[in-house]
Structure 1
């Protein structure tokens, strides 16, 4: 009957030296064969090189605040009821602007953007385009999502949110506090480009001590 081969004996000093060598090689990225590691009961993890992929950064400069709103005295006249006036579409079916006199009772009376409406230039809400059917007068301020005159193609991030939403929230807060707000939103196009180059927001409260009085432009780019 054949005798089984026995593994050669190792002295503690030899084993300790071998273990140290394997660990040092692992630190320097040298991969020691698995069978040798198993022989000494060691398992080193191969280090992964850091990814060379750079994170995507936005080139949008952010909102540009231009001071106070520019409404004339006539445009600041109050009325018993609030109103919204959507301007006509242009020859390329682009939304051209909207004016409003916002009252507290108009909060949250708007509608979400109708997915059957595709504003000029709209491709997809998914990456890489990340488009949105952007309300001129926001839904929370009473703006319709079923009227093409109130929808323009914006980049969802960061234009629609958080930039535009920041100023809409200021208006919403004032309305919640009982104020009446004169409001205007104007998309600004270059030539026949279907997407607006930037969008301008103006708002001013009718109260003397209003908390809202601004004019701001937001570049429409990712």
Structure 2
């Protein structure tokens, strides 16, 4: 009898090990992807940048438009990915410090409920504080969120910020982010959203980003797209290996002189900035008042807002 019990015990142990159960009895799933899961879900396994279905050499050359449609505008999600569970995944930085895939199920639960904070402390790979007169807002580069702040409230997350041109950030990515945000707010539905920065070789600056999105509850009737946004800036030549840049019409000029800096008055309480002669600045409580000389975009990156009266 004891011998039979011994063999039965060994058999049960063997069966337990073969199921891959963890110590709490849950079925374990092993994934080789290096993802940081902010909120887990049944579909929290995303595709790494090395496994993406697009290749850089398959993307048309930039021809004056900020983005191009990929795969007939069909994202590479599967039926198994469709879920109404909120989640966010951000890839670990690679050996060069570069971001990877960012993947989330956008919904009201993920959207920010607090004021946006500063992101100036994050220096993505290839980052340069460089300014050109022919760039909107002067600054060539923005700290571009892969998953936009308005969608998931991820602010100074280094795994979610890349060096992106003003053109890609505003003309390429922002319209699609606004589309998702408006849809979610109007319907209270979910949108699967995956953004993949595409780096060529060991370049520190991404050549662009792939953006995939699909609304869940209506199976893509509301939101469905797959696009590649070019990380370019018209009339500026970028060295993607380092992030260096110069005017395309004059390779000897980078237009980065300190003369482009401006002096502003900051209100550290309201997080607004003003011109020096703004009436609001003159009436400001001295305890909240701070003088700042620098770039306008840097203030915006730090979470400050421009005064609506003096429009600095």
TM-score range, shorter chain: 0.5 to 0.7
**Rounded Cα–Cα distance in structure 2 between residues aligned with 1:143 and 1:85:** 13
Gaps of at least 5 residues in structure 2 are 1-61, 134-138, 234-312
Report the CA distance between 1:162 and its aligned residue: 2.1
Query: Please, what TM-score do these two structures have when normalized by structure 2?
Result: 0.49
Please tell me whether residue 221 in structure 1 is matched to residue 232 in structure 2.
yes
Contact 2:69-2:226 within 8 A present in 1 as well: yes
Deviations 1:40-67 (A, max 9, x none): xxxxxxxxxxxxxxxxxx9743210121
Output aligned runs, 1:50-199, within 5 Å. Answer: 60-66=64-70, 67-79=73-85, 82-109=86-113, 111-112=116-117, 114-124=119-129, 126-127=131-132, 130-156=140-166, 158-177=167-186, 178-199=188-209
Q: Equivalent residue of 1:74, what SS?
A: helix
Q: CA 1:120–1:194 in 2, change beyond 3 Å: closer, same or farther?
A: same
The separation in 2 between residues aligned to 1:125 and 1:143, in whole angstroms, is 27
Normalised by the length of structure 1, the TM-score is: 0.68
- What's the C-alpha RMSD, in Å, of the aligned pairs? 2.0
Q: Give the 3 Å change call, closer, same or farther, for CA 99–109 of structure 1 in structure 2.
A: farther
* Equivalence for 1:204: 214
| Structural mapping, 1:6-25, within 5 Å | none
Contact 1:113–1:133 (8 Å) recurs in 2: no
The Cα of 1:198 is off from its aligned counterpart by: 1.1
Is 2:163–2:206's contact at 8 Å kept on the other side of the alignment? yes
CA-to-partner distance for each residue in 1:57-96, whole Å, 9 max, x for gaps? Answer: x9743210121212011211222xx121101111100111
Structure 1: gaps (5+ residues): 1-57
